[in-house]
Amino acid sequence: MSTHQASDSGTVAGMGEFGLIRAVTENRRQPAATLLGPGDDAAVVAAPDGRVVATTDVLVQGVHFRLDWSTPDQVGRKAVAENFADVAAMGAVPTAVLVGLACPPDTPAKVVRELSDGLWAEAQRAGAGVVGGDMVRADQLVVSITALGDLQGREPVTRSGARPGDIVAVSGRLGWAAAGLATLGRGFRSPVAVVNAQRAPEPDYAAGPAAAIAGATSMIDVSDGLLADLGHIAEASGVGIDVRTEHLEVDRKLVDIGTALGADPMTWVLTGGEDHALVATFPSFADLPEGWRRIGAVTMADSGVTVDGEEYHGESGWEHWR
């Protein structure tokens, strides 16, 4: 039996804090941007641009994930993905993550190791490193991620730059994670591609910098729902936004699931979050980067978000404490 297998057979309390830290950090590869990784009081990450994009999210077991629905590896991947999607939405390239982990002392060491594997795998997919963090005791499993990014000399793309006449475009899938959540909630585990969109989304991190280079005037990660997140752009920019449903793709898998569950798949596309697609506005003369597709337009000031020119009746997306 290997050392890793032996350690996985116990609990985090049995391994101890420093044994657990060693288990999840040793023999891991770091990118060139990591000048000093885990093991000291703090990490050192290169910032060639002179500015650092930073964001953070907290995932709580039972609220953001369930271990009877997702593997620990998938939870780790999702935790990093949703943060790096925010970095990409600023037009930046992900460089590093720091991880805060809280869990009960009887948590199996195998769970933490597999969660760590997911964290590292998603960071490597983005070309970034896991550079440090902290571990504490808690009553339930909580994963907190702080992600860093590099603007590479570009100005950040914020939510406040949209102007009337801009086009609205999206990169990535919409509605899949919401359909996956509905499927899991009904006790089903397939179709796997849709369910896995909820368990471990795979944002295209390169789409954000590509949009910035193409002249995007505003951008946001679709985490809470397309209409809800476009509402943030509309409010910050002081504009209206109209989404055209004829431009929204509804995959056949979503149609089939909607039929089986008695749900409208377009509702998932418009209001479902956690796909972590990117939505941005561009000047009307801009050439959209590869993978981006037009879905609407920026309209007159303070007219809110509409769908096919009409007010949308219903919840626009996810909101905590509601």
Which strands sit side by side in the sheet containing 310-311, from one edge to the other?
218-222, 277-282, 167-171, 292-299, 240-243, 304-307, 310-311
Asked if residue 223 belongs to a known ligand binding site, the reply is: yes
- 3-24 residue pLDDT tens: 444 455 588 888 877 777 787 8
Domain extent at residue 246 = 167-311
Q: Is 159 annotated as a binding residue?
A: yes
Asked whether residue 204 is marked as a ligand-binding residue, the answer is no
Is 64 annotated to bind a ligand? Reply is yes
**Domain end marker among 116, 150, 184:** 150
Pick from 273, 266, 267: nearest CA to 220: 273
Phi, psi (degrees; rounded to nearest 5) at 301? -55, 140
Considering the entire predicted model, what is its pTM?
0.92
Q: 299 and 260: one domain?
A: yes
Summarised one tens digit per residue, pLDDT across range 32-80 is 999 999 989 999 999 999 999 999 999 999 999 999 999 999 999 999 9
CATH number for the domain that contains residue 141: 3.30.1330.10
Q: Higher pLDDT residue, 281 or 28?
A: 281
Pairwise CA distance, residues 21 & 18, whole Å: 5
Answer yes or no: is 106 a known binding residue.
Answer: no
Instruction: Grade residue 102 by pLDDT with cuts at 50, 70 and 90.
Output: very high
State yes or no: 86 annotated in a binding site: yes
Q: 301-320 pLDDT, tens per residue?
A: 777 899 999 988 777 665 54
Q: Is 134 annotated as a binding residue?
A: yes
Question: At 224, which CATH number?
Answer: 3.90.650.10
Residue 274 annotated in ligand binding: yes
Give the pLDDT confidence score for residue 8 in this predicted structure: 56
Same domain, 233 and 289: yes
In a shared domain, residues 145 and 171? no
**Residue type for position 80:** V
Final residue of a domain: which of 150, 175, 204? Answer: 150
Q: Is 189 among the annotated ligand-binding positions? A: no
Number of structural domains in the chain = 2
**Is position 307 within any domain?**
yes
Please determine, for residue 180, whether its predicted confidence score (pLDDT) is greater than 90.
yes
Same domain, 257 and 202: yes
- Would the annotation count 57 as a binding residue? yes
249 annotated as a binding-site residue:
no
